[in-house]
Structure 1
């Protein structure tokens, strides 16, 4: 579904590449760990952090890659960590972190990378920008090795449907929305199952007191779901 019917703020909307190109400079100071990393840290299923080869899709500034190296998969002796994004400004910042073995410019729906190359493919806070989920799930399934996993952390559709889009502020203070789409949980299940994935774990992140400590203006959304995690497994 298009986000427009739910929009309560009416910010000007930018295309995805343009929007993230502008946001790259301030992104790390805006996105909070309670949105995504908190969900990753409490995931225990089958010790997913032991994955040897990892692909960070829509890697952005390399924020998640740095976490993987420092506190997640890095502890398990990750063999290779690659990143892919289609925004040059984001890739430049990811490269500057020095945590990836290789970085690729490309589209998450058609990466051009070799099939069966990764034990773990993950994507964090990007799926709401895709008009259709099916190509993402097909491509991640193609990229994963037998027994491999696809780990997705996203911006909760409930929050989008509450009228709050993915947005950022320009240096002059003007708020800008990045083109977004609402995907229900059933949309994910249908697209994933059609591609061959099997659901292994799911979690949701709520606005709680930790959230209010960093975003006190969100008190009206206390106890509302703001993010979610889906862990999919490919059969051996």
Structure 2
């Protein structure tokens, strides 16, 4: 019991707890304001300070499962473009991005790697025709509970039958925000097939931080 108590305390002292508290303490307009402030500091904070690796992990998991040839891919919650950049290290695809924050999209646009970028709330039906994309990818979106598992069916509708969705989920919200139950229900219904579901430590500089790296096939 002492060991477990010590582990819980170490988690409470994590620098990421400040971010989680800030995100969970606001909603919609407040989150947009938070990301407006954070857009210019996101990469410095996440990569330089924390050693953030989730984009590399999901790109590495998704890329080998995709069909050969150039695919049309949707980067969901694209942020500043780290996930698309990681995928392009493995494949040369055509990538569109969507994000809730216009300021994050401005940073992504500066990279020059996206075919198109749109502002969208992924907790609602997406402004994208069904079956548009060969695949979708996401990291850092399903983190502190501000976007829950209700977004997954919206993303799946944008993917062609047989296409793939690769995404990461912060381990603390896996059960709490409904991801475990959503994926189980979708698989039972035959909507998806779960190809990958692994837990990995995704912060080089912080202990006891994990994500689920998930890849599913959309059966249509």
Q: Would the TM-score normalized by the shorter structure come out above 0.5?
A: yes
**Displaced runs of 4+ in structure 1, greater than 6 A?**
none
The equivalent position to 1:99 in structure 2, one of 113, 124, 132, is: 113
Q: What's 1:64 paired with?
A: 83
What is the TM-score with the length of structure 2 in the denominator?
0.74
**How far apart, in 2, do the equivalents of 1:67 and 1:27 lie?**
16
**1:212-223 maps to which residues of 2 (within 5 A)?**
215=205, 218=206, 221=207
**How far apart, in 2, do the equivalents of 1:38 and 1:121 lie?**
15
The equivalent position to 2:66 in structure 1, one of 24, 29, 48, is: 48
The equivalent position to 1:186 in structure 2, one of 176, 180, 199, is: 180
> How much does 1:103 deviate?
0.5
**How far apart, in 2, do the equivalents of 1:197 and 1:132 lie?**
18
Residues 35, 226 of structure 1: 8 Å contact kept: no
What is the TM-score with the length of structure 1 in the denominator?
0.70
> How much does 1:46 deviate?
5.0
Relative contact order (alpha carbons < 8 A, sep ≥ 6): 1 or 2 greater? 1
- Count of aligned pairs between the two proteins: 193
CA RMSD of aligned residues (A): 3.0
The 1:192/1:28 distance shift into structure 2, 3 A limit, reads farther
**How far apart, in 2, do the equivalents of 1:123 and 1:41 lie?**
9
Is 1:133 equivalent to 2:142 in the alignment? no
Q: What's 1:30 paired with?
A: 45
**How far apart, in 2, do the equivalents of 1:191 and 1:138 lie?**
11
